[in-house]
């Protein structure tokens, strides 16, 4: 996209993943692939959104701030031809000005998990797809802390209410990673194999976890930056069709979160790139029928890229949502290097779809033999 990703531009880089569980700690570098470099990039969500919005505007997009979309405009045939919107203040409250209408050849719902436009036209979420819940906050990390500018993302497969092995095991898994600017992103989540919401008190679980982390980490109330925030994570294309009747779904609105790890940003950006290419192709066509044929490539391409991978992820969730099974996998799986390399590539989507090593080829083959999500 041409967005600078240097450290001086506000990005933090990480080099791999540290997994902790079952009495084991395993560190694995990110694979060096033909298609992906051997490092990760991190930015706070607020900074990322601002960076992308300004870059889009500089590239020719019209950016309307202080507006909130209220609904879809549809023609007599039910095709989405635009949106209605109201002006809002900096707190998101309506200003009382008249509602505005905007029309376009195609409309994209990239509005997140609420999927306001998709829901308005009757595209309900599917109950047979995994749903996750995550909470997170930021901590200002003291320079003396071992967590300061840690180049490894860290995943805690077990959260203990006290000393590991000598206290109660809390539900879910946790993460810690450097977010740049002296901040650490700290959070936890859980997942269900269906759309049912998990009935857990995440704020309480998070507080109990933080009470028992080492004091030298500096994850204290006075170092916390901002409140603990939560979000639902719709997974594995849980809202379909991804395109129909003039409306295209991107990111959480189409349920594009990974069932393996709760990652959503990368897939939303991938969908945005593919969607932009498809829309550009459609707009070059001479008539409506031809444009609609071109738009069918969006869902087909997204499912070809991710459908098999997400389908495997659905089976993965059915396994790990059972704590007893997860404990066995953690205790006996982490010490096995070859198995962990395979799991690392699979869960982080760090494998080459064409070529690569034997593990890449096995994962690719598995994604092709399952029915796409």
Q: What is the pLDDT of residues 71-117, one digit of tens each?
A: 999 999 999 999 999 999 988 888 888 999 999 999 999 999 999 99
Which pLDDT belongs to residue 201?
83
Cα R_g (the chain), whole angstroms:
22
Nearest residue to 243 (alpha-carbon basis) of 71, 124, 106: 106
Supply the mean pLDDT for the chain.
Answer: 90
The stretch 135-142 carries a mean pLDDT of 96
Write out pLDDT tens, residues 144-166: 999 999 999 999 988 766 666 66
C-beta of residue 136 within 8 angstroms of C-beta of residue 173: no
Which pLDDT belongs to residue 48?
93
Sheet bearing 100-103, strands edge to edge:
67-74, 80-87, 100-103
C-beta of residue 340 within 8 angstroms of C-beta of residue 29: no
More confident residue, 170 or 299: 299
Please determine, for residue 335, whether its predicted confidence score (pLDDT) is greater than 90: no
Which pLDDT belongs to residue 334?
84
Alpha carbons 94 and 6: distance in angstroms, whole number: 38
Put residue 93 in one of left, alpha, beta given phi > 0 → left and psi -120 to 50 → alpha.
beta
Please determine, for residue 169, whether its predicted confidence score (pLDDT) is greater than 70: no
Which pLDDT belongs to residue 59?
93
| Beta strands, E only, the chain | 12-14, 16-21, 24-29, 40-42, 67-74, 80-87, 100-103, 107-109, 131-140, 152-156, 159-160, 169-170, 173-180, 183-192, 224-234, 243-244, 247-249
Q: How confident is the model at residue 197 (pLDDT cuts 50, 70, 90)?
A: low
Nearest residue to 187 (alpha-carbon basis) of 143, 238, 132, 235: 132
Neighbour-count burial of 95, counting CB atoms closer than 10 A to its CB (0-12 exposed, 13-18 middle, 19+ buried):
exposed
> Residue 341's Cα: distance from chain center in Å?
22
Beta bridge partners of 244: 247
Alpha carbons 346 and 261: distance in angstroms, whole number: 10
Alpha carbons 156 and 174: distance in angstroms, whole number: 5
Q: How confident is the model at residue 168 (pLDDT cuts 50, 70, 90)?
A: low
Q: Which pTM value belongs to this model?
A: 0.90
Which pLDDT belongs to residue 25?
92
């Amino acid at each position: 996209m041409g967005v600078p990703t240097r450290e001086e531009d506000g990005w933090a880089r990480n080099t791999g993943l540290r997994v902790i569980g079952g009495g084991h700690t395993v560190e694995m570098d990110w694979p060096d692939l033909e298609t992906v470099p051997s490092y990760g990039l991190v930015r706070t969500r607020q900074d990322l959104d601002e960076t992308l919005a300004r870059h889009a505007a500089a590239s020719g997009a019209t950016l309307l701030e202080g507006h909130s979309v209220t609904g879809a405009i549809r023609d007599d045939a039910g095709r989405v031809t635009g949106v209605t919107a109201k002006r809002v203040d900096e707190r998101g409250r309506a200003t009382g000005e008249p509602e505005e209408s905007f029309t376009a050849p195609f409309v994209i719902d990239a509005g997140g998990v609420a999927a306001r436009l998709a829901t308005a036209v009757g595209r309900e979420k599917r109950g047979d797809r995994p749903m996750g819940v995550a909470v997170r906050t930021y901590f200002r990390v003291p320079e003396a802390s071992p967590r300061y500018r840690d180049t490894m993302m860290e995943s805690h497969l077990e959260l203990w209410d006290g000393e590991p092995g000598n206290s109660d095991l809390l539900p879910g898994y946790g993460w810690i990673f450097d977010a740049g600017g002296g901040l650490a992103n700290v959070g936890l989540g859980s997942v269900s194999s269906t759309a049912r919401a998990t009935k857990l008190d995440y704020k309480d679980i998070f507080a109990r976890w933080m009470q028992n982390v080492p004091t030298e980490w500096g994850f204290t109330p006075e170092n916390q930056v901002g409140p603990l925030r939560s979000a639902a994570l719709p997974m594995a294309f849980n809202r379909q069709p991804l395109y129909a009747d003039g409306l295209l779904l991107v990111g959480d609105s189409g349920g594009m979160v990974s069932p393996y790890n709760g990652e959503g940003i990368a897939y939303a950006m991938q969908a945005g790139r593919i969607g932009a290419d498809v829309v550009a192709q459609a707009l070059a066509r001479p008539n409506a029928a031809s444009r609609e044929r071109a738009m069918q490539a969006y869902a087909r391409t997204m499912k070809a890229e991710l459908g098999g991978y997400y389908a495997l992820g659905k089976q993965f969730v059915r396994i790990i949502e059972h704590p007893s099974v997860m404990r066995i996998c953690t205790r006996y799986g982490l010490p096995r290097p070859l198995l962990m390399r395979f799991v690392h590539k699979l869960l982080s989507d760090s494998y080459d779809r064409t070529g690569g090593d034997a593990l890449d080829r096995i994962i690719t083959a598995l994604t092709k033999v399952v029915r796409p999500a």
